[in-house]
Amino acid sequence: DVVMTQTPPSLSVAIGQSVSISCKSSQSLVYSDGKTYLHWLLQSPGRSPKRLIYQVSNLGSGVPDRFSGTGSQKDFTLKISRVEAEDLGVYYCAQTTHFPNTFGAGTKLELK
């Protein structure tokens, strides 16, 4: 199985600060079609997950452009510029290149 390693496990931030979350996979996430199926999700407290970024860097529908995703092969980063209160929760990276699909353990973003 592809292991997704997210760091850090938690982040304490002030509103307006910028943060980055890292996600590293144990195998390349480039599929045979040339695309990379690495996605970022946010689960706010008590809510269902919501997709933020799909295929490394594509912003999901309705997602503010304060969120951005970069990376390739096995090394990926989610950046949040100017954190707002609504951004708090647990962030997950997920890969759908290989079966079984796998998720990172999550990064909990809290207010400082």
Partner 1 sequence: EVQLVESGGGLVQPGRSMKLSCAASGFTFSNYGMAWVRQAPTKGLEWVATISYDGSSTYYRDSVKGRFTISRDNAKSTLYLQMNSLRSEDTATYYCTSGQLRWFAYWGQGTLVTVSS
Question: Judged by CB under 8 A, does residue 104 bind partner 1?
Answer: yes
Choosing from 48, 85, 86, 112, the residue that interacts with partner 1 (CB under 8 A) is: 48
Indicate the residue among 40 and 80 with the shorter CB distance to partner 1.
40
Half-sphere exposure of residue 109: CA atoms within 13 angstroms, side-chain side: 26
9: burial class by Cβ within 10 Å (0-12, 13-18, 19+)? exposed
Question: Taking the complex as a whole, how short is the minimal distance between the CB of residue 75 and partner 1, in angstroms?
Answer: 20
Question: Judged by CB under 8 A, does residue 102 bind partner 1?
Answer: yes
Total binding residues for partner 1 by CB under 8 A? 24
Any idea which residue has 């890969």 for tokens?
95
> Residues 1-40 vs partner 1: string with x where CB under 8 A?
------------------------------------x-x-
9 in the Ramachandran plot: left (φ > 0), alpha (ψ -120 to 50) or beta?
A: alpha
Which residues contact residue 18 at a Cβ distance below 8 angstroms, ignoring those fewer than 6 apart? Answer: 79, 80, 81, 82, 83
Residues in contact with partner 1 by the rule CB under 8 A: 37, 39, 41, 43, 48-51, 54-55, 60-61, 90, 92, 94, 96, 99-106
